[in-house]
């Protein structure tokens, strides 16, 4: 049996961390849904940048939009391109959304990264994008920054589906879970918003490994490639404590959804590591793994679908204790990763707008 389909049987949904116009118009997304049990799509500015710069599939729409409104701003132009893709993807995934009664079938669209540290701006942006896309299976991505957390709570209380991103630590996760519980406790029962807590994985190893290599002892080098999974497994344990506990029991009885943990950044950056390193150990119930196409291909080819996210917890705790004993400050690393992530997303967004403007000019000049 296809290992990707087995993941769904184990309670983990696979979402595709990629989108482009060809994927949608060729029927490839529909094929992934039917054959590989893909149950959602995530996007970000970097993905749209690659899609628009690397294809002529957007050229006709750019020409049309520019002809109808020669003064259209580059951001409005990008949004119209992106929203067309998001709408088509949500429509393609609508049967999954309906069949799962809103459990899956979502497509995520990033709120402007320029607003990561602006609570009121984020609130207005999410409401605006929601109205423009006008699909019930949209999820808007909001980062788990200090200013993002109150926006997340308010938006969930208003019934919006939110994908909370840029989480790297237990503190980040607990703040997001708490915002979810507070938000949905105020949400009208009829809305039942859905949410995922996107916990980033591989980037933790990239930074922790660098620190371990600088120490250079055999004990330090032996820990390379282990920090990210250990960090993630402990967050999953905390997730189970929160959502299996008394604090969620009343909300569950009223029909509230569990806020699933979504494993993000699951492509393997270090070529010395397994290309399914951030998939196999993190399989478990009530989780999502959003994978880029290469990771989906790798897991389909040789992945082992075994529920493992609750295995070896004591060993994972011991690894993190060893990390601390060696002088590697995981809390500092994860805070740096969130700060760097906010900047990287903002930089990527600016590059995306530059790409759209360059393509508009190129098409205008023939």
Q: Are 179 and 149 in contact (CB under 8 A)?
A: yes
The closest alpha carbon to 290, from 87, 98, 85, 44, belongs to: 44
Q: Angle at CA 121, nearest 5°, toward 118 and 123?
A: 110
Q: Residue 357 CA to chain centroid, in angstroms? A: 27
Token pair recorded at residue 40: 């959602």
Torsion angle defined by CA atoms of residues 126, 286, 303 and 20, in that order, rounded to the nearest 10 degrees: -20
In this structure, what DSSP letter does residue 112 have? P
Sign of CA pseudo-dihedral 307, 313, 316, 320: positive
Torsion angle defined by CA atoms of residues 29, 31, 36 and 39, in that order, rounded to the nearest 10 degrees: 40
| Backbone φ and ψ of 59, nearest 5° | -60, -45
Q: Helix (H, G, I), strand (E, B), or coil: what is residue 108?
A: strand
By annotation, the residues acting in catalysis are 141
Token pair recorded at residue 198: 């996107």
Per DSSP, the residues of 262-308 read EEES-S--STTS-TTTTTGGG--TTEEEEE-HHHHHHHHHH------
How far, in Å, CA of 203 to CA of 183, rounded?
Answer: 29
Token pair recorded at residue 135: 């699909």
* Residue 56 CB neighbour total at 10 angstroms: 12
- Tell me the chain's radius of gyration from C-alpha atoms: 20
| Backbone φ and ψ of 142, nearest 5° | -130, 130
In this structure, what DSSP letter does residue 141 have? E
């Amino acid at each position: 049996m296809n290992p990707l389909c087995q993941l769904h049987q184990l309670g983990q949904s696979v979402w595709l961390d990629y989108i482009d116009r060809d994927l949608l118009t060729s029927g490839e997304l529909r094929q992934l849904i039917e054959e590989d049990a893909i149950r959602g799509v995530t996007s970000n500015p970097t993905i749209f940048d690659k899609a628009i710069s690397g294809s002529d599939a957007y050229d006709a729409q750019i020409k049309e939009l520019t002809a109808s409104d020669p003064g259209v701003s580059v951001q409005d132009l990008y949004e119209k391109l992106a929203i067309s893709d998001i709408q088509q993807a949500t429509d393609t995934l609508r049967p999954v959304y309906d069949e799962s009664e809103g459990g899956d079938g979502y497509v995520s669209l990033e709120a402007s990264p320029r607003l990561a540290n602006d609570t009121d701006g984020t609130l207005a942006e999410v409401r605006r994008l929601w109205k423009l896309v006008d699909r019930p299976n949209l999820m808007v991505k909001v980062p788990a920054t200090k200013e993002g957390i109150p926006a997340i709570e308010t938006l969930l209380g208003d019934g919006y589906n939110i994908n909370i991103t840029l989480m790297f630590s237990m503190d980040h996760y607990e703040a997001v879970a708490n915002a979810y519980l507070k938000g949905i406790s105020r949400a009208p029962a009829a809305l039942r918003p859905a949410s995922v807590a996107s916990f980033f994985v591989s980037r933790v190893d990239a930074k922790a490994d660098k620190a371990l290599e600088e120490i250079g002892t055999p004990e330090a080098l032996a820990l390379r490639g282990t920090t990210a999974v250990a960090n993630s497994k402990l967050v999953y344990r905390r997730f189970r404590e929160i959502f299996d506990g008394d604090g969620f029991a009343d909300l569950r009885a009223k029909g509230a959804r569990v806020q699933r943990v979504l494993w993000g950044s699951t492509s393997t950056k270090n070529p010395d590591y397994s290309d399914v390193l951030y998939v196999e150990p993190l399989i478990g119930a009530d989780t999502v793994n959003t994978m880029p196409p290469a990771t989906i291909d790798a897991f389909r080819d040789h992945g082992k679908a075994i529920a493992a996210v609750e295995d070896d917890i004591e060993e994972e705790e011991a690894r993190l204790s060893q990390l601390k004993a060696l002088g590697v400050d995981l809390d500092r690393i994860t805070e740096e990763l969130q700060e760097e992530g906010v900047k990287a997303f903002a930089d990527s967004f600016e590059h995306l707008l530059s790409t759209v403007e360059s393509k508009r000019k190129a098409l205008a000049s023939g």
